[in-house]
Structure 1
Amino acid sequence: MSNDQQATVHLGEALAWLRTLETASADAVITDPPYSSGGMLRSDRTGTTKAKYTDSATKSQYVDFSGDNRDQRGWGYWMTLWLSEALRVTKPGGVLVMFCDWRQLPTATDTMQSGGWVWRGLVPWIKPDARPQLGRFTQNAEFVAWGSNGPMPVEGGALPGYYLARAPRANEGRQHITQKPVDVLRSLVQIAPRGGLVIDPFTGSGTTGVACLHEGRRFAGCESVPHHHATALHRLAVARGAAVPDGMQGAFDLEMS
């Protein structure tokens, strides 16, 4: 775990980590859990994450991540478990912000509610460079499902209703197969009060933490894969100015409404 007071990343399993956290200690949960997606059948989901989410030209550049091979029912039960524990850790009125794709969107919003959260809505993330699908509607959106721990106070400014931003590319410092744009996360973390604590049980390469450091929020995360844990620690050190950048993810064009 990092010793920095503003950002810590624990190496371990998400649910076990959440159970160690103090009740009502976090202002927001902002996370990108494994989708267990990438196909319509069980055989599709059991493939490696590199096989499911990268093309042949970039497959060798990335390290697989864990927790992405559950079937639909198993994924739903697991989601309810960690979402329930995350609710306990979050202050009354605190917020959950969670990425998902179109395949898992119905189950994601169901498990949010079965975990005790009040479902507040969806924020689409539109990727303008998505691969076209001939004869079909192009799947160029992922979704941010969000909710709250009971009633929310009416405070703070208005946040966007959608994001238009391309995903980071390999030549721009992409470190993780499903890495999200920093600028999207910088906007999302603003749902938490300045100086508040944001937690991320599925830290990956640390984008949520980087966004928190840029936006004046405290961060605590957990990552189970040692390679990604090390990457997250390095990116947080770069964001704090404690390490030299090595070609990592830069800025992204972003339109908000």
Structure 2
Amino acid sequence: MGAPAVIHRAKVRRIGDATMYCGESLGIIPDLDPIDALVADPPYSSGGVHSADRMAKPSQKYVGSKQRHLYPDFSGDNRDQRSYAAWSALWLGAALKIAKPGALCLVFSDWRQLPTTTDAIQAGGWLWRGLCIWDKTEAARPQRGRYRNQAEYIAWGSSGSLPADGPCLPGVFRHRVLPDDKHHLTGKPTRLMSDLLPLCGGTVLDPFMGSGTTGVACVQLGRRFVGIEQDEGYFEIACGRIEEAYRSLDHVLEIANDQ
């Protein structure tokens, strides 16, 4: 693992083709090199029915009581609605300034924040192009007398026009969260991130990398990864997972070379 240094007022670590920053995204994004895609899973500032509910800890809002002790809480998840919209437009606008022409923008959201997220993508200057659905399967947490909240959403867009070539990917991705693959309170499946990446070009930015799942998928698919995480505990988890992904990749290559 590379030695930490101070760059852009943040700790930075480089592992293979992955560069990870421990700091606040808005202070780091403007100084990054150009990117081919933005893949973001920001804190939703969601949960509950009333506005006061969002002020609870993420561990109280997003997981059942039996799982609350398994993962650390994270910061930045208690913005009111206007603050969330303004903040989202700011970091999306900053990312657009370093995006190459035709770069993709993929932003995760739950149902509560979906309208604000699609507005923020456009306010940030991206061309909004549609929605993908993550079907979390029937394993999603049920509530009696209600429809199961089984889906989350990926609002996607681009930096200007897109070429009329490349693979055609599905608009619905069905993956359950596996306990062995979850390292964050709101972690996404590695297979989900891998399925999203084939259209994302060579350099992918995740400004809220959490436990580093997007980075692990980038290592597995041969993409360059730039990740930002402000919580130092999760930053270290992400770096450890990405280092392990490179070790696993080297092991696979050694086996292939021996055969």
Equivalent position SS for 1:116? coil
Find the counterpart in structure 2 of residue 202 from structure 1.
208
> Are 2:183 and 1:175 equivalent residues in the alignment?
yes
* Inter-partner Cα distance in structure 1 for 2:89 and 2:40: 15
- Paired amino acid for 1:11: C
Query: How far has the Cα of 1:174 moved from its partner?
Result: 2.0
* Inter-partner Cα distance in structure 2 for 1:134 and 1:42: 23
* Structure with higher helix content: 2
* Inter-partner Cα distance in structure 2 for 1:31 and 1:167: 18
> Are 2:59 and 1:53 equivalent residues in the alignment?
no
Residues 70-129 of structure 1, C-alpha deviation per residue, up to 9 Å, x if partnerless? 011110000000000011111011000111000000000001001101111001101111
Query: How far has the Cα of 1:192 moved from its partner?
Result: 1.6
Unaligned runs of 5+ in 2: 1-11, 250-259
Query: How far has the Cα of 1:2 moved from its partner?
Result: 2.1
* Inter-partner Cα distance in structure 2 for 1:13 and 1:242: 30
Query: How far has the Cα of 1:135 moved from its partner?
Result: 3.2
Unaligned runs of 5+ in 1: 244-257
Name the CA shift for 1:50/1:77 in 2 (closer, same or farther; >3 Å). same
Query: How far has the Cα of 1:224 moved from its partner?
Result: 0.3
Query: How far has the Cα of 1:175 moved from its partner?
Result: 1.3
* Inter-partner Cα distance in structure 2 for 1:87 and 1:178: 25
Corresponding residue pairs, total: 238
> Are 2:20 and 1:9 equivalent residues in the alignment?
yes
Query: How far has the Cα of 1:152 moved from its partner?
Result: 0.8
RMSD: 1.6
Equivalent position SS for 1:3? strand
Deviating 4+ runs (over 6 angstroms) = none
Task: Work out which of the residue numbers 87, 90, 93 in structure 2 matches 1:78.
Answer: 87
Query: How far has the Cα of 1:132 moved from its partner?
Result: 3.0
Task: Work out which of the residue numbers 64, 75, 94 in structure 1 matches 2:103.
Answer: 94
Residues 128-157 of structure 1, C-alpha deviation per residue, up to 9 Å, x if partnerless? 112333333221100011000010112211
Percent of residue pairs identical? 46
- TM-score scaled by structure 1? 0.89
Kindly indicate whether the alpha-carbon contact (under 8 Å) linking 2:126 and 2:159 is maintained by their aligned counterparts in 1. yes
Find the counterpart in structure 2 of residue 111 from structure 1.
120
> Are 2:137 and 1:131 equivalent residues in the alignment?
no
> Are 2:171 and 1:165 equivalent residues in the alignment?
no
Find the counterpart in structure 2 of residue 189 from structure 1.
197
* Inter-partner Cα distance in structure 2 for 1:174 and 1:192: 23
Query: How far has the Cα of 1:165 moved from its partner?
Result: 0.8
Task: Work out which of the residue numbers 215, 228, 236 in structure 1 matches 2:242.
Answer: 236
Equivalent position SS for 2:69? helix
Find the counterpart in structure 1 of residue 49 from structure 2.
40
- Paired amino acid for 1:12: G
* Inter-partner Cα distance in structure 2 for 1:14 and 1:224: 8
Kindly indicate whether the alpha-carbon contact (under 8 Å) linking 1:14 and 1:201 is maintained by their aligned counterparts in 2. yes
* Inter-partner Cα distance in structure 1 for 2:169 and 2:120: 24
